[in-house]
Amino acid sequence: MDNINVLEEKKMGIKKSPYYRKKSRGIILVILNIIMICIVLFPLFYAVSMSIRPEADLYNLDVGLFPRQITLKNYMDVFRISNIGRFIKNSFIVSTVIMLAQLISTSLAAFSFQFLKFKGKGIIFALIMATMMIPGEATIISQYLMVSGWGLQNTLTALFLPYLTSAMGVFLFKQAFETFPVELYESAKIDGCSDIKFFTYILLPVSRPTIAALSVTSFLGAWNMYMWPLLITGSEKYRTVQIGIAMLNAADAQSLLLMLAGVVVCMIPSLTIFLIARKNMINGLTAGAVKS
């Protein structure tokens, strides 16, 4: 009896709790978030803020976080002095090829695992999943010796060759296809629909979220990759953005700001893709980790 009374009182208390308390909590939350966003985004803000100031202001101790004069000269110069246009083109070609190749190869494999019957399915699937356990660094020496042994050093082909498929992609597509009713596939077969037609016209259109998720992650991964291009390409002609910008890194003020302008330019595509496809990317990332 007592307990119930206490409970009643508490409930009443909550109901009667003054409105301003809730409101002030919201304000505190916003303030904390504003502080946090300043910390998290500080490096990005700093890069932009530095890249739009004239080089004279780099050593000027009076000029702090915010540029006193705004100029786009560093951006003009980075395109004029370095080959950044070509680097972007190279990176774009390589990333697009990797993205398309991964989409095609992984979705085909996942289709086979989910809808077709064949000998050794379990073992082959386990093998593909096992490759996730092998870190890139454990194979990169051999990949380098193999690809350069074929005489492919300094070619665009060498840049995308080792990344034409991904075990994670097979896993994600298989998960997506599991939700597709097998009866529909069987009835399509009975109606004389071939596997490849079913795959292209029925299955892929309903797997759009997974396609988007994998596209974003594979494109960004390729765009941001560093170690492989560093090893396999030495000439200016086949340099990718990440390597090309790092090459601008020198001690004098002018190239410092040029380099930051280059970094900002190369972040623009990644950030744009991220902002457009944020939802899909998040689903793709957490699909493997979290049961929805």
Partner 1 sequence: MKTTIELTQNNSNVPLLSKNRWSINAYLFLLPSLAALIVFVFIPFFQTLERSLYLTDNMGKNALFIGLENYILLFKDPSFYNSLFVTLNYVAIVVVVGVLLGFTTALLCQKSFPGVKIFSTAYALPLAIASSGMALVFGVMLNQTTGILNRLLHTNINWIADPKYAIWSVGILTGWLNSGMNFLFFSSGLAGISENLYESASIDGANQFHKLIYITIPSLMPITFFVVVTNIINAFQSFGQIKLLTQGGPGESTNVIVHDIYRNAFMNYRYGYASAESVILFFIIMIFTYFMFRARKRGL
Binders of partner 1 among residues 213 to 272 (CB under 8 A) are 220, 223-224, 226-227, 230-231, 242-243, 245-246, 249, 253, 256, 259-260, 263, 266-267, 270-271
Question: What's the CA gap between 250 and 258, in Å, rounded?
Answer: 10
Nearest approach, Cβ of 72 to partner 1 (angstroms)?
Answer: 19
Nearest approach, Cβ of 262 to partner 1 (angstroms)?
Answer: 8
Give the residue with the Cβ less far from partner 1, 176 or 259: 259
Give the residue with the Cβ less far from partner 1, 63 or 93: 63
| Nearest Cα residue to 52 out of 32, 67, 65, 63 | 67
Q: For residue 123, give both structure tokens.
A: 């073992």
Per CB under 8 A, 212 contacts partner 1 = no
CB of 244 closer than 8 Å to CB of 98: no
Binding residue (CB under 8 A) for partner 1 from 12, 81, 141, 250? 141
Indicate the DSSP class of residue 235. S
Question: What's the CA gap between 193 and 266, in Å, rounded?
Answer: 45
Per CB under 8 A, 289 contacts partner 1 = yes
Binding residue (CB under 8 A) for partner 1 from 12, 32, 56, 76? 32
Q: For residue 182, give both structure tokens.
A: 């097998």
Buried b (16+ CB within 10 A) or exposed e, 109-124: bbbbbbbeeeeeeeee
Question: What's the CA gap between 229 and 224, in Å, rounded?
Answer: 10
| Nearest Cα residue to 86 out of 94, 148, 153 | 94
CB of 74 closer than 8 Å to CB of 257: yes
Give the residue with the Cβ less far from partner 1, 101 or 202: 101
- The binding track of 54-93 with respect to partner 1, each residue x by CB under 8 A or -, is ----xx-x--xx----------------------------
Question: What's the CA gap between 5 and 291, in Å, rounded?
Answer: 41
Question: What's the one-letter identity of residue 64?
Answer: G
Binding residue (CB under 8 A) for partner 1 from 12, 178, 201, 274? 274
Per CB under 8 A, 177 contacts partner 1 = no
| Nearest Cα residue to 114 out of 74, 71, 173 | 173
Binding residue (CB under 8 A) for partner 1 from 56, 81, 136, 178? 136
Nearest approach, Cβ of 145 to partner 1 (angstroms)?
Answer: 4
Binding residue (CB under 8 A) for partner 1 from 3, 142, 179, 235? 142
Per CB under 8 A, 40 contacts partner 1 = yes
Question: What's the CA gap between 128 and 132, in Å, rounded?
Answer: 8
Nearest approach, Cβ of 191 to partner 1 (angstroms)?
Answer: 7
Per CB under 8 A, 139 contacts partner 1 = yes
Binding residue (CB under 8 A) for partner 1 from 77, 153, 195, 202? 195
Give the residue with the Cβ less far from partner 1, 1 or 138: 138
* Residue 227, C-beta contacts closer than 8 angstroms, at least 6 positions apart: 136, 137, 140
Q: Which of residues 106-125 bind partner 1 (CB under 8 A)?
A: 106, 108-109, 111-113, 116-119, 121, 124
Question: What's the CA gap between 223 and 88, in Å, rounded?
Answer: 9
